[in-house]
Chain A
Amino acid sequence: MAALLRTSALRAGLRARAAKSTAAMASTTFVRGKATLPDLSYDYGALEPYISGQIMELHHSKHHQTYVNGFNAAVEAVAEAEAKGDAKGVAAQAPLINFHGGGHVNHTLFWENLAPNGKGGGGEPEGKLLTAINEDFGSFETLQKQTNAALAGIQGSGWAWLVKDKTSGTLSVVTRPNQDPITGNLEPLLGIDAWEHAYYLQYQNRKAEYFGAIWDVVNWGTVSKRFEN
């Protein structure tokens, strides 16, 4: 899949160069830095029964791929507008960069903070991370409850995140609408996707069941590494 994308991206880049010599430099730079769909470190079916293989396959190979494509297209449009000195054209891409770029960033973090149950996924946080969770939430159980309440309270599509304040080091749970990424002074540690495409084929409207099940495939090793970085 990633190889296919690179090939078609290259062709698009070549076409762009052929068509517009003034944009040639920007296109070349852009092709080199093109975003690609990251491979999963586990099989599509590896998170079952908590997340079905069908969901994982669509979610990764279709939805995430669409964000990658959308992000690359928006970045290319920015480069073209920039080359023409078209500030309005650059600004017009901002919502698309935020949405598709955020979708790419969020899903990349998401796949990495999941793992098959018993093979890195599930269980409880340990070490310094657990100490911080106990200090900031009272207990791991309270963190789970707060996260599940935050997920249930999302109106529409969005994400819930366990985040660390970069200045104070304090942990908290926040939500973001649609594909808005975690930015600014917050470091994302653990993301949970509350878009309907993340659970609907398996859980339908029973999203609380999905929010309950996902803890069995949370990769606390990844979360700990992000926390300690």
Chain B
Amino acid sequence: MKLLPLLSLFPVCIFASTNPDLAWNSDDSPNPQDLHLTTMSVGAYNLPALPYAYNALEPSISGQIMELHHGKHHQAYVTNLNNALKTYASATSSNDIAGQIALQSAIKFNGGGHINHSLFWENLTPASSPDAKPESAPTLMAEVAKTWGSLEGFQAAITKTLLGLQGSGWGWLVKDSQGLRIVTTKDQDPVVGGEVPIFGIDMWEHAYYLQYLNGKAAYIDNIWNVINWKTAEARFIGTREDAFKILRASI
């Protein structure tokens, strides 16, 4: 399965069969509460259920944004990833190397979209949750203070980086062998260079525009209220495999 770095994360058999559930009409929003009941066939990715209700992140992120973002945007990445991987599998079985290469961009974009959003939902939580308090991440906070002086210092640094993004993309706090770093990725490029993603902030306009319009600095200010520091701590302490377990669960 040495197809691509993305796929090598998932030691699975791809596309034993197709599943009619994948053909969700794009206007037919899936109810996240029902998703865990929808068992997909082995090898096809599934939209993971949100661990909270669409409106649970208000007022930091509106319910309308969350519903579109999860039910439509993330779903489209999952659908298009599955379609691309299916075509890739047939290109592989017919030894069509040109066809395989032609699909890599679609796999990276849609696979990245699926990875990034799956990590993103898990690293957010309602502001009322104890997990939203930075005290839920004592080990991580100590390392943040060591690297940036304080949580505020880190927040100022990542905010500056996020506001400097040109076009669509993501900002991430990651852990590598050197310690903590802030990185950005363009479009839906995922963090798959060996780093452990601690948490991501989606800077695509669809992540904030309906509520914040062009005021992306206000979106960044408010997202700190709903960061899931407990998840961040677990990813910091754990390995890359731990951070990506949500993806294996969505197969």
Task: Give chain A's interface residues, CB within 8 Å of chain B.
Answer: 58, 62-63, 66, 95, 99, 155-158, 177-179, 195-197, 200-201, 204-205
Q: In the assembly, what is the distance between CA of A204 and CA of B206, in Å?
A: 8
Choice from A62, A156, A205 contacting B188 with Cβ under 8 Å: A156
Q: In the assembly, what is the distance between CA of A95 and CA of B166, in Å?
A: 9
Seed contacts A155-B109, A195-B205; 12 additional CB < 8 Å A-B pairs: A66-B214, A99-B166, A158-B167, A177-B167, A178-B166, A179-B166, A179-B167, A195-B167, A197-B205, A197-B214, A201-B213, A204-B68
Q: In the assembly, what is the distance between CA of A90 and CA of B131, in Å?
A: 45
Q: In the assembly, what is the distance between CA of A71 and CA of B11, in Å?
A: 48
Q: Are A197 and B209 in contact (CB under 8 A)?
A: yes
For the complex, is B76 an interface residue (Cβ under 8 Å from A)? yes
Q: Are A205 and B206 in contact (CB under 8 A)?
A: yes
Which of A58, A155, A177 has the largest count of B CB atoms less than 10 A from its CB? A155
Q: Are B188 and A200 in contact (CB under 8 A)?
A: no
Q: Are B167 and A157 in contact (CB under 8 A)?
A: yes
For the complex, is B219 an interface residue (Cβ under 8 Å from A)? no
Q: In the assembly, what is the distance between CA of A155 and CA of B186, in Å?
A: 10
Q: Are A196 and B167 in contact (CB under 8 A)?
A: no
Q: In the assembly, what is the distance between CA of A157 and CA of B204, in Å?
A: 9
Q: In the assembly, what is the distance between CA of A158 and CA of B204, in Å?
A: 12
Q: Nearest residue in B to A205 (C-beta to C-beta)? A: B72
Number of B interface residues in the complex (CB < 8 A) = 20
Q: Are A155 and B105 in contact (CB under 8 A)?
A: yes
Question: In the complex, how many residue pairs between chain A and chain B have their CB atoms under 8 Å apart?
Answer: 54
Choice from B68, B168, B210, B213 contacting A157 with Cβ under 8 Å: B168
Choice from B68, B72, B168, B213 contacting A156 with Cβ under 8 Å: B168
Q: Which residues of B contact A156 (CB under 8 A)?
A: 167-169, 186-188, 204
Q: In the assembly, what is the distance between CA of A197 and CA of B203, in Å?
A: 12
Q: Which residues of B contact A95 (CB under 8 A)?
A: 166
Task: Give chain B's interface residues, CB within 8 Å of chain A.
Answer: 68, 72-73, 76, 105, 109, 166-169, 186-188, 204-206, 209-210, 213-214
A202 to chain B, nearest CB (A): 11
17 A-B pairs (CB sep. < 8 Å): A62-B213, A63-B214, A155-B105, A156-B167, A156-B168, A156-B187, A157-B168, A157-B205, A158-B167, A195-B167, A196-B204, A196-B209, A197-B205, A201-B209, A204-B206, A204-B210, A205-B206
Q: Are B209 and A200 in contact (CB under 8 A)?
A: yes
Q: Are A205 and B187 in contact (CB under 8 A)?
A: no
Q: Are A155 and B188 in contact (CB under 8 A)?
A: yes
Q: Which 3 A-B pairs have the closest CB atoms?
A: A156-B187, A178-B167, A196-B205
Q: Are A200 and B210 in contact (CB under 8 A)?
A: yes
Q: Are A58 and B166 in contact (CB under 8 A)?
A: no
Q: Which residues of A contact B105 (CB under 8 A)?
A: 155
Q: Are A200 and B166 in contact (CB under 8 A)?
A: no
Choice from B109, B186, B205 contacting A200 with Cβ under 8 Å: B205
Q: In the assembly, what is the distance between CA of A177 and CA of B169, in Å?
A: 12
Q: Which residues of B contact A62 (CB under 8 A)?
A: 213-214
Q: In the assembly, what is the distance between CA of A156 and CA of B76, in Å?
A: 14
Q: In the assembly, what is the distance between CA of A66 and CA of B206, in Å?
A: 19
Q: In the assembly, what is the distance between CA of A165 and CA of B204, in Å?
A: 33
Choice from B73, B168, B186 contacting A205 with Cβ under 8 Å: B73
Q: In the assembly, what is the distance between CA of A63 and CA of B215, in Å?
A: 10
Q: Which residues of A contact B169 (CB under 8 A)?
A: 156
B202 to chain A, nearest CB (A): 12
Q: Which residues of A contact B76 (CB under 8 A)?
A: 205
